[in-house]
Amino acid sequence: MSVWALGINHHTAPLDLRGRFAFALDQIPRTLDGYRHSLARQPEATLLSTCNRTELYAAGEQSAVEPTLDWLAQTGGVSTHVLKDHAYILREGEAARHAFRVASGLDSMVLGEAQILGQMKDAVRAADEAGALGTTLHQLFQRSFAVAKQVRTSTEIGAHSISMTAAAVRLASQLFEDLKDIKVLFVGAGEMIELAATHFAAKTPKSMAIANRTLERGEALAGRFGAQVMRLADIPERLHEFDAVVSCTASTLPIIGLGAVERALKKRKHRPMFMVDLAVPRDIEIEVKGLSDVYLYTVDDLASVVQTGKENRQAAVAQAEAIIDAGVLSFMHWLDQRDPAKGGVVPLIQQINAQADAWRAAELARAKKLLARGDPVEAVLEALSKGLTQKMLHGTLAELHAGDAETRAATAQTVSRLFLREKS
């Protein structure tokens, strides 16, 4: 059993490539099922997909790594060569270290952000419900969550962090003299939009509106902020009303196109528009960025803003890395205990327990037959104990009589140590 991770993230791949490999949470079970059935021997697998990363964690044969790379490339509609140029493959301890760092927020665009931990828990839950999560990955992720909790409680890694949505408000403040004078449109009704609405609402803008595919979910979120609700289909006709637009949906195609923005600018007499696209893949066509009166920012554009305060957290990073190092050592020890090639005894213990259970079941079945036949209880118990004893000692006694004198002497020492040790 080998553990490995294959992925791309904001460090290694541009936004448009990451968009090709974005999976909504409800797509994960079906995607994992397709992946596992593409291989001759199905590995344990978990798929983590966020705005900043798509990562597949697996436990199985090392030979499955290359076919997995081919499968992922085909799923994203790119060549294996293109994906390989931007992907990373991490094995064993390095895969565990990466999982622990991701869970702890050390590999995030926003250093120390907490949202990724919830996203990872959702991904693990989806894999478990799909039947793709086995003992090894269950251990890996439960330890990831424990390490992340220790990092949060023992260090100040999350102190002074600036979220994507807070960064969006900061940039809007630089464009507009007073956010109380602007109208804001939020496209979507997920967690990221909820965070964005919370940050903008704190600045008490003139008005806020939420556009969502389903009005019910949009209304539930709008009710918290006193915002209007509108359908996605209404955006092209009403876009000109808004000074700021923040979008984050799970759509596979852009929600707001170049033509719609051009028409909105014309109606606004080219008053500037502030737009933030937090979605991967994009919600707003990239060509919009070329318009002179539009200030469009993507998740990657916000990178420099969210790094503010990073220097203040470097000491906390060192503490967090030490916690992660200890977690990796512990996990690898657990993994090695299950690998006979590395002296692991867990498989042998499991075999011994299975053999003992088989002997016990056989003698118990025999005893039940004797009781049903009417044999005395004492005689049945005597036969049961004698049968178990003979089965458990047969191999040991046979070894004591086998081999040459030197082998018998070594066996005798081992048997004495196992069966005749003094009670402490």
Asked if residue 193 belongs to a known ligand binding site, the reply is yes
d(CA 200, CA 399): 78
Asked if residue 50 belongs to a known ligand binding site, the reply is yes
β-pair partners for 47: 56
Asked if residue 188 belongs to a known ligand binding site, the reply is yes
Token pair for 18: 């990451």
Instruction: Tell me, yes or no, if 248 is annotated catalytic.
Output: no
Do 155 and 112 touch, CB atoms closer than 8 A?
A: no
Residue found by looking up tokens 């990451």 in the block: 18
Residue found by looking up tokens 């079941």 in the block: 361
Do 73 and 82 touch, CB atoms closer than 8 A?
A: yes
Asked if residue 94 belongs to a known ligand binding site, the reply is no
Helix or strand (DSSP H, E) at 166:
helix 164-175
Query: Phi/psi at 43 (nearest 5 deg)?
Result: -85, 165
d(CA 174, CA 395): 81
Token pair for 211: 């556009």
For 122-239, strand residue ranges (E) read 183-187, 207-212, 228-231
Asked if residue 319 belongs to a known ligand binding site, the reply is no
Catalytic residue among 51, 179, 185, 221: 51
Any idea what DSSP says for residue 310?
G
- Beta strand pairing call for 53-60 and 183-187: unpaired
- What does each C-alpha distance from 356 to 335, 349, 359 come to in angstroms? 25, 11, 5
Asked if residue 115 belongs to a known ligand binding site, the reply is yes
Asked if residue 51 belongs to a known ligand binding site, the reply is yes
Token pair for 33: 């099922």
d(CA 25, CA 89): 23
Asked if residue 113 belongs to a known ligand binding site, the reply is yes
Do 280 and 19 touch, CB atoms closer than 8 A?
A: yes
Task: Give CA 290 to chain center in angstroms.
Answer: 35
Helix or strand (DSSP H, E) at 420:
none
Q: Which residues are annotated as a binding site for NADP(+)?
A: 188-193
Q: Which residues are annotated as a binding site?
A: 50-53, 108, 113-115, 119, 188-193
Q: Which residues are annotated as a binding site for substrate?
A: 50-53, 108, 113-115, 119
Q: Which residues are catalytic?
A: 51
